[in-house]
Structure 1
Amino acid sequence: MKLIYAFCLVVLLSRCAMMPSDQTKINGVSYVSSRDSISEKHVKPLLKIHANYASIMPFGFIRDVSHPDIQYNSKRQWFGETKVGVKQYIKVLKDEGIHIMLKPQIWVWRGEFTGDIKMKTEDDWKILEASYSQFILDYAELARETNVDIFCIGTELEGFIEERTDYWIHLITEIRNIYKGKLTYAANWNEYTKTPFWNDLDYIGIDGYFPVSDLKTPTVADCKLGLKRWKTEVKKYHDIYNKPILFTEFGYRSMNFTGKEPWRSDRGIDEVNLEAQANATQAFFERFWNEDWVAGGFVWKWYHKHKRSGGPNDPRFTPQNKPAEKIIQDFYSKH
């Protein structure tokens, strides 16, 4: 009898250890959708760095920033960007103990900034609203069906929100009627102070691409100094709304001047600077990860084929197979 009791206790404790409590950091990665399905072997690198969350990001596409019709779940999209693919990714990740934030996003063809989406007529605004509602409520249903932990209602849509605030307030109510988990919105680093509906969500979501240094290779101290003002400002918004801060995206490219304009994603940069990325990444963790008002965040970004991703010649965001990966591992292991 004692043996049975002890076994049950061990099982219970092990299950509890896999469930993030309010005190456990969300140590996440932004999991890039691909052409392929994933398997257990693709999750092992996440477990190695002590990640406990992944952001799954299905895309909807619009032709340009004034076009109102969103296309999604198309046969022309990659597997991981479709509803079938999203469900497959979620199942595999959850089976390995990884929790999920589902984060449907809009992609404007030719890479135009989503914050600049703005319709030219009232009729087009109505079409966009109906199209976005279909897109986001469809994925809210999937979030409910797959029992994900967090649902992100949008990403960097400042112009849309500013012009159509009442629509967004109503949309949040519609989402709540479908999905009963935690909600956030991914505001850009210079947008969250203008986002009007934080009271209606569970997390203040920020894509944390704060400019921190104009130096080619800033030190950890340089980057921490650059983050000081941003930390003070972010803390004010936590205090105003009494909501935890969630960095829905954060990270730095392994390139020269990585802290100057950290949001840059253009492909015309080929100078690699692993040290700059590592220093900026460490500074971000040292500034934010020990604060109880910071829920955690999602590193931008992580590819499922780990051995073939990143590496010493890669100037892009992923920390995979670079010194920054070890820094992430160290901080995630402590929280």
Structure 2
Amino acid sequence: MTALDAAVCGMTWGWTGVRGTWATPDAAASMRAMRDHAVTWTALAYAAVQETPFSTDIPFEAEPTVTDDEIVWAIREAKALGMKVCLKPVVNVADGTWRAHIGFFDWDVPGEPSWTEWFSSYRRFLLHAAQLAEAEGCEMLCVGCEMVRADGQEQHWRALIAEIREVYSGLVTYNCDKYQEDRITWWDAVDVISSSGYYPIDEWEQNLDRIERVVTASDRPFVFLEAGCPSREGSPARPNDWSLPGAPSGAAQLSYYEAMFAACARRDWVGGFFLWDWPPRLYAAADAATNDDYCPFGKPAGEYLRATYAALSTKETSR
């Protein structure tokens, strides 16, 4: 692995980056609790919100997006706790449409919203994040997340990444969605390949086989920039579905963690994880048994994660 010097024992923190939820005592306590699970990297994830999937304006300076001061606070807090940082600016849609469906005609048409217009606004958002990441010494910058319809806009992505590299000197990655790893045609433009690994508990091997071919061909390191499972009955079969009905179940989440880590441990090209996810305001430990979200705090998966990450970090340190 050329761009990562040790396994990434990571966790995503802060989603969705709502203004006023970072840079608080609760946020500081949450980040300390996350670090106590042997986490060595964190993806600080926040969203700017466009109005519809066909809007071309991304007002990242406006509410509800966290402010620059909050972002800088989170970076410095993470670094003070000894963690490396991947800054992860993401675009969401106000009407609830998943960002993967943001899209326009493949070619620009006068009078119609276009990819050129959208990327112009997205460029402002990402270059601003890149400047913050450079100023604060973030080790990695994620330039996009699960933008499935946008993935085919190769030239726009290449141009954007080239501009980002003019202001940011750290590692650049793109977080593609599950099942899309072998559909991206511009992996050579980034330093690290990453994806959202929400694969059903019994389908890890076949998907790792598929991803391995991409990693081998690209000669790039790979991490799962998202992966995880709600603590809910039925979720191991559909870990990407945060709204799946089911009773809270720490055992279900633990079974998924065990299967995921075991499968990935057999592939030396998997460089690590930024697990999904850890909120800026953490629930009380006494409420963990009834919490059915992705966060493993106070749950069996949390203890398993602490032990697994601690062992992995010790192994890497002893090399």
TM class by smaller structure: 0.7 to 0.9
Residues 142-196 of structure 1: per-residue CA shift (max 9 Å, x gap):
111111000000001121221x221111111111111111010000111221112
**Equivalents in 1 of 2:277, 2:133: separation in Å?**
21
> Higher helix share goes to which structure?
1
CA contact (8 A) 2:53 2:103 kept: yes
Structure 1 position 87 matched with structure 2 position 72: yes
Residues 293-317 of structure 1: per-residue CA shift (max 9 Å, x gap):
1111111010244452761111211
Deviation at 1:107, TM superposition (A): 0.9
**Equivalents in 2 of 1:109, 1:44: separation in Å?**
31
**Equivalents in 2 of 1:60, 1:47: separation in Å?**
26
- Of residues 39, 61, 66, the one that matches 2:49 is 61
Question: Corresponding residue for 1:7?
Answer: none
Higher RCO (CA < 8 A, seq sep 6+): 2
TM-score (norm 2): 0.88
Question: Corresponding residue for 2:190?
Answer: 201
TM-score (norm 1): 0.84
**Equivalents in 2 of 1:85, 1:322: separation in Å?**
29
- 2:220 maps to a residue whose letter is K
- Of residues 240, 243, 250, the one that matches 1:274 is 250
Question: Corresponding residue for 2:233?
Answer: 256
**Equivalents in 1 of 2:207, 2:236: separation in Å?**
13
- Whose radius of gyration is greater, 1 or 2? 1
CA contact (8 A) 2:175 2:225 kept: yes
Question: Corresponding residue for 1:166?
Answer: 155
Deviation at 1:290, TM superposition (A): 5.5
Task: Sort the Cα spacing of 1:96 and 1:244 in 2 relative to 1 into closer, same or farther, 3 A.
Answer: same
CA contact (8 A) 1:208 1:249 kept: yes
Question: Corresponding residue for 2:274?
Answer: 298
Within a 5 Å distance, the mapping from 1:59-208 to structure 2 comes to 59-74=47-62, 76-77=63-64, 81-119=66-104, 122=109, 123-125=112-114, 126-162=116-152, 164-208=153-197
Structure 1: gaps spanning 5 or more residues: 1-20, 213-222
- 2:208 maps to a residue whose letter is K
Structure 1 position 25 matched with structure 2 position 1: no
CA contact (8 A) 2:182 2:210 kept: no
Task: Sort the Cα spacing of 1:63 and 1:307 in 2 relative to 1 into closer, same or farther, 3 A.
Answer: closer
Deviation at 1:43, TM superposition (A): 3.3
Structure 2: gaps spanning 5 or more residues: 313-319
**Equivalents in 2 of 1:251, 1:194: separation in Å?**
22
**Equivalents in 2 of 1:293, 1:194: separation in Å?**
19
- Cα RMSD of the aligned pairs, angstroms, is 1.9
Give identity over the alignment, percent: 20
Deviation at 1:38, TM superposition (A): 4.3
Residues 204-223 of structure 1: per-residue CA shift (max 9 Å, x gap):
111101123xxxxxxxxxx4
CA contact (8 A) 2:40 2:83 kept: yes
